[in-house]
Amino acid sequence: MPFYSEKVLDHFKHPRNVGEIENADGTGEVGNPVCGDMMTFYVKIKDNKIEDVKFKTFGCGAAIAVSSMVSEMAKGKTLEEAMKLTNEMVAQELGGLPPNKLHCSNLGADALHKAIENYLTKQNK
Ligand code: FES
């Protein structure tokens, strides 16, 4: 497979942090308007840090690799740091994505940010 980096293939074949967090502090769901694929992120927050993060992705291999990478990059980060993660950073960390699959990297950081925003909204109640 010449188009995918080793890292993408590794995260696709062995995705980290797949699943759901029961009683998550925040959840965020996004859909990709290009292909209709869906991604949901769950976060557990402690002391302003992402203590745990899991995801469920109904999407292509690149989207699964992206979710897995986002979850690894986010774990242990403060909320502020996690909010600064961008889709570009994730694609870069994966060693790049083929141009026609770049839209797949658009979901990951967005879903994570939504989950954090969901947590913050609940806190403000
Ligand atoms: Fe839909 Fe990749 S084809 S996220």
Question: What domains appear along the chain, each with residue ranges and CATH number?
Answer: 6-123 (3.90.1010.10)
- Residue type present at position 53: V
Distance 63 CA to ligand 1 centre (A): 6
110 lines ligand 1 (CB under 6 A): no
Return d(Cα 22, Cα 65) in angstroms, integer.
23
Tokens describing residue 78: 């403060």
59 lines ligand 1 (CB under 6 A): yes
Segment 50-69, tens digit of pLDDT: 999 999 999 999 999 999 99
Which mutation among 12, 32, 56, 66 tests ligand 1's pocket best, with the greatest number of atoms within 8 A of CB? 32
- Residue type present at position 46: K
Distance 59 CA to ligand 1 centre (A): 6
> For each of the chain's 125 residues, which pLDDT tens digit applies?
458 999 999 999 999 999 999 999 999 999 988 899 999 999 999 999 999 999 999 999 999 999 999 999 999 999 999 999 999 999 999 999 988 888 888 889 999 999 999 999 999 86
pTM attached to this predicted model: 0.93
